[in-house]
Every structure is written in structure tokens, then in C-alpha cells.
Structure 1
Amino acid sequence: MNSNFSRNPVLLVHGMRDTKLIFSTMSARLTELGWCVYSLNLTPSDGSLGLELLAQQVADYVCATFAPEQPIDIVGFSMGGIVSRYYIQRLGGMNRVQRFIAISSPHNGTWAAYTNGGKGCVQMRPGSAFLKDLNRDAALLEKLNFTSIWTDWDFIILPAASSQMSAAKEVKLSVFTHAMMVRHSSSLKSVAEALSEPLKVHD
């Protein structure tokens, strides 16, 4: 790991039916490695609220927590990856997020979203107007250090390859089940490596 880099504060954004407690293992590990780690509870996180409104909660938290000139890195898990993308692509996050890591996020939708009729779930269905709009200019994310971490053994993101994005550096792990993606040692290692990458240099 490159020790000659400046560590940004890291904001962890959880997924559906989760709270920030799901990141307890990851938060402890990243703190141990020297990062200042933050997280918030999206409310409600049951899929009933539109993802754009959850993204506004992220935007409000960032404004209230960090100085305007402070760059940050974001790790979004599952639905939290899509919420984070909306913040970055639509609510000004592009101007301050330098590294963005999505873990098992349904960038192209998941069939599991059909089990719930809430607005947020409808937005995460394959082919939804929300995802089509977000993916229309997903190339914007190439300006960031954007990493997508996923596993074939994911039974929430269906198909698992929905986590693939051309704008992202792809890290595919052999981790069994969706929830373990924020706890497994290989996931934690991959997140730390992505957060340690030198920033892209733009003309």
C-alpha cells in the first residue's frame, strides 16, 4: 500500500434495510489503517423513499460534516452505491468526491427489486427510468477514481453482473452472499487498496 498519499475522510453509505452498523467491521479496519471514517443512517432505508431523496440526505450530511474545501471519498454498499452515484452525478458531489467505491451495487438494476413496490425499489429495477437517466451520463464517473467491487455469489443483485460498469475499475471477488461483501477480509482489503490509489491526473 502506498503510504505517500493524502488520506481523505471516508463516508460509508449503507444499503436497503440496513443502518450504518453494517459497516462496523469495515469502519474499524479502515480506522486501524489510518482513515477518518464517517457514516450516516439513511431514513427510511426500506425502499419506500425515492433514491434522489436519500441522496439529498447524503448531500446534507456532507455539507454539515465537512468543510467546503475538504475532498472526500465515498464507499457505497448495494443501494448505497446508487444513492451515492445520484449525489455525485446530480447533487454536486462530483466537485468534492475523489474516490468512489461501489460494493455490490445494482448499476443496471436487480430483479430482486420486484419484491417490493416502494419507489426506491421501483427505481432499482432493470430498465427503470431512474437508472436509464443515471446511466445516460455515467461516463462522468471516469473523472473520479471509481471502483466497482462485486461477486458472482450475490443473490440480491440479480444478475450479479449488474454491478459492472464501463466507467469503473472492476474488482471481482469470490465472496459468498451479498451481506458478506462489507465484512469479508478480501472485500476489506480491496476497499483499502482502492482508497489508497493515486488520484487520476486530468489535463
Structure 2
Amino acid sequence: MNTKNQQRNAVLLVHGIDDTGLVFYKMAAHLRLQGWSVYSLDLVPNNGDVGLDELAKQVADYVTATFAPEQHLDLVAFSMGGIVSRYYIQRLGGINRVQRFITISSPHYGTVVAYGSQRPGCIQMRPDSIFLKDLNSDATILEQLDFTSIWTPYDLMIVPANSSQMPVGIEVIVPVALHPWMLTDSRSLAAVKAALKNPIKLPFFKKVSS
């Protein structure tokens, strides 16, 4: 492995609702071929039966158990996993560990699809939920790291689709037809790879929103 690859951060993948880490099979293989060390965890339960804040604690525990205390990492999260990861970053100290944060089709401002379930995690993903309002009240904290939101305007799971837009960071639109395809489409994979290659800004540089 060359010096450039050795300098890359490990990449942690965080899945969405009703998924496991296996949903990233194609993306993980692609990134490993490109020289990244890739990790994933299975959130339990994965069906919304517990709050996203509880799942975020599992992410925090996994990071503590898997990586050295001073080791930085990059985080790629899909759908619900993006909100779980935001809670980890914004509320559980992840801001001090994560250098690049990429969400893929995540309902940052909620999805009306979440009205179809009374499970706690789903209630938290409804538009204007107390949980999302709290997270979005200080979303500017994400300016401290390299944040990218990748989304498709044709998403039928994130409704409205532009709920995946954020007022901070970089936005990448990939016109993929179906929500799950965001993890396998070659354009999505290219967008993730490009975001993971973004140079890290030093703390005294202010991040400029796109």
C-alpha cells in the first residue's frame, strides 16, 4: 500500500432502517479496491423500535471499541443512518473524531413516509419532529468537518426528496430512480469516492458552504 493510501482515514458505513451493514456490499468492495479501510456495524434493532439517539450510542460505542482514541475517521451514512450519525456527531462527541461526513439520501428535514409507523425511530424522522428540529437548530456544527449530502430528486422514501438538502456543506445530486440504488449506482459510488478524497481543512480555515 502506498503512502497516499496509508494517510487515508478509515471509513465507517452506517446503514438505514430495515437494513444491515451488508447493504453496503458493493460500495465497501469498491472503496477497498481503491485503498480504503472500510468498517460497518449492524444497528439493533434496525426497524425503528428504539429512538435514533439510542442507535447513535451504538455508533459511539463501536467507534470507541474499534479505533484508537486519537484516530480520526470518515463516516458514510445511508438514509436513517445519516440522522443517527448526525446525533453521534452533534451530541455524542463524534465531531472530535469524524473528519469527513457523507450522507446519502438522508431525511435531514424528515419524510412523510415516516407517518406510516408509530415506532419511536420513525416518529423522530417525521417532518418538523422535535428530534429533527433539535438537530437542525445547530446544524452549523457540521461546518467544522467536511460534510457532503448526496441525494436524488426521484426518491420515494425521502418525501419530499429535497429533505436531504442541508444549508451547510456540499450538495451532490445523483438522478437515481430508486432509494436503494443510491448505494450501488456508479454515479453514487463516484460521488462518495470524490467526497472521501476532499482535502481536510485545518481548524483555522472557515468552511464555506456551497
TM-score, with structure 2 as normaliser: 0.94
- The equivalent of 1:61 in structure 2 is 62
**Runs of 4+ displaced beyond 6 Å:** none
Could you say which residue in structure 2 is the equivalent of 1:48?
49
Moved more, 158-167 or 4-13: 4-13
Cα deviation, residue 168, structure 1: 2.1
Q: What does residue range 102-113 of structure 1 map to in structure 2 within 5 Å?
A: 102-113=103-114
For structure 1, the residue ranges without an aligned partner over 5 or more in a row are none
Q: Tell me the distance in 2 between the aligned counterparts of 1:149 and 1:143.
A: 19
Q: Aligned partners of 1:4, 1:193: CA distance in 2, in Å?
A: 15
**RMSD after superposition:** 1.0
Aligned to 2:144: 143
Tell me the CA shift for residue 63 of structure 1: 0.2
Could you tell me which residue of structure 1 aligns to residue 208 of structure 2?
A: none
| Map of 1:125 onto structure 2 | 126
For 1:115 and 1:200, how far apart are their aligned partners in 2? 41
Cα distance between partner residues in 2 of 1:64 and 1:126: 34
User: Please, what TM-score do these two structures have when normalized by structure 1?
Assistant: 0.97
State the alpha-carbon separation in 1 of the partners of residues 168 and 42 from structure 2.
28
Larger relative CO (CA 8 A, sep 6+): 1 or 2? 1
Once the two structures are superposed, what CA deviation does each residue of 1:39-97 show, in whole Å capped at 9, x if it has no partner? 00000010111000000000000000000010000001000000000000000000010
Amino acid at match of 1:200: K
Give the aligned residue type for 1:135: N
Quote the offset at 1:164 in angstroms.
0.3
Report the counterpart of residue 153 of structure 1 in structure 2: 154
DSSP-derived class of the 2:68 partner? coil
Task: Show the 5 A alignment for 1:178-193.
Answer: 178-193=179-194
For 2:169 and 2:133, the matched residues in 1 are separated by 17
SS in 1 for 2:22: helix
Aligned match of 2:97: 96
How far apart are the structure 2 equivalents of 1:186 and 1:200?
25
Question: Which residue of structure 2 lines up, in the alignment, with residue 75 of structure 1?
Answer: 76
The code of the aligned residue for 1:76 comes to A
How far the C-alpha of 1:153 sits from its partner, in A, is: 1.1
SS at match of 1:76: strand
Tell me the equivalent position of 1:164.
165
Count of residues paired in the alignment: 201
Unaligned runs of 5+ in 2: 205-210
Q: SS state of the match for residue 200, structure 2?
A: coil
Identity of aligned residues (%): 60
Tell me how far apart the structure 2 counterparts of residues 121 and 200 of structure 1 sit (CA, whole Å): 35
Distance 1:176 1:104 in 2: 12
Q: Classify the secondary structure of the residue corresponding to 2:113.
A: helix
Q: Which letter maps to 1:87?
A: Y
Residue in 1 that maps onto 2:207: none
* SS of match in other structure, 1:11: strand
